[in-house]
Amino acid sequence: MPDISMQRRDALRAAAAAMVALTGRSWAQGSGWPTKPVNMVVPFPAGGGTDAFARPLAAQFAKSTGKTLVIDNRGGAGGTVGASYAAKAHADGYNYFMGGTHHVIAPSVYARLDYDLERDFVPLALLASVPQVIVVNPRTVGAKTIQDLIAELRRKPGSFNYASAGAGTSHHLAGELFKLQTNTFITHIPYRGAGPALQDLIAGNVDMMFDGLGSSAAHIKGGRIKALMVSGAKRNPSLPDVPCAAEVGLPEYNITTWYGLWAPKNTPVEQQNQMIEELRRLGQTSEIKAIWAQNGADYGSLTKEQFAAMVSGEIKRWAQVVKASGAKVE
């Protein structure tokens, strides 16, 4: 009598062999991504807001997958130099780009860009969102409250300056929007990233900054800079004593700095989905939850399609802000 179990095993082996012959790879190889280090372009120097989230993600990615997530810092021109480089990277599932709010602003403030955020990239995931925070160097700015600061700025127009991560970034536009809404004038000093800008603020070389809370949180808690206000309609849990914009009479000052991940266009859908799933897993780890909470951030929970819609909407929204402010970069 024939051995039915042996026949079944033989049939399964034959089917598996046929699948390999048809696809040219085994199921294990197909689902084994990553098999080598993965590169992620961060379009600002180390020490800024993007870095504050990219590096913890890289550490947890290595722990989870056993492969390195290489942070490739390429700063310049408000994050557009790194974006341009990433847009031309090999679309093999091993190259990614971590950008954010700055990159939905760029099309409206830069006369010429050699890439298109929606055409040349595939949006994968929203990684973090934080409120904007107005911070000052307490040694150069005597104001103890945001109301005091506004009064001082009105008394001495042009006497104070603010640092940004570069022309056309969310830091820059947050400053311009604040000036519009408070009828004040503050001189803009652009840097090559939030990291260098923060270092000069801490050193007292500039007076203030409109920063994403992710890069400022540790310096605020360490007493090196002072937070006077967070944007939006509610206080941030990581800075419960700092008033929000709505509380101090600026209900329209509602700016969020957010960071997301893109892949170059034509990246295989399989690798896109594997990266998305890996990011979902990382967002559930206790390590990432703790770091995001410390930085006053929310981890993204949007689907790939929802994030794509958000990016399109943000490009249109910021175009209106840019038009109102008159900000342009040649």
pLDDT of residue 327 exceeding 50:
yes
pLDDT of residue 2 exceeding 80:
no
What is the identity of the amino acid at 140? Answer: T
Give the pLDDT score at 66.
97
Rounded to two decimals, the pTM is 0.83
Question: Are the CB atoms for 191 and 164 separated by under 8 Å?
Answer: yes
Per-residue pLDDT band at 28 (split at 50, 70, 90): very low
Tokens of 73: 């810092």
Higher pLDDT, 23 or 175: 175
Condensed to tens digits (0 to 9), the pLDDT of residues 47-65 reads: 888 999 999 999 999 999 9
Collapsing DSSP to helix, strand or coil, 38 comes out as strand
Condensed to tens digits (0 to 9), the pLDDT of residues 245-255 reads: 999 999 999 99
Give the pLDDT score at 31.
56
The domains located in the chain, with CATH, are 38-129+257-325 (3.40.190.150), 131-248 (3.40.190.10)
Per-residue pLDDT band at 310 (split at 50, 70, 90): very high
Q: Give the mean pLDDT of 190-194.
A: 90
Question: Are the CB atoms for 141 and 209 separated by under 8 Å?
Answer: no
Cβ neighbours of 73 (radius 10 Å): 18
Provide the 8-state DSSP code for 285. S
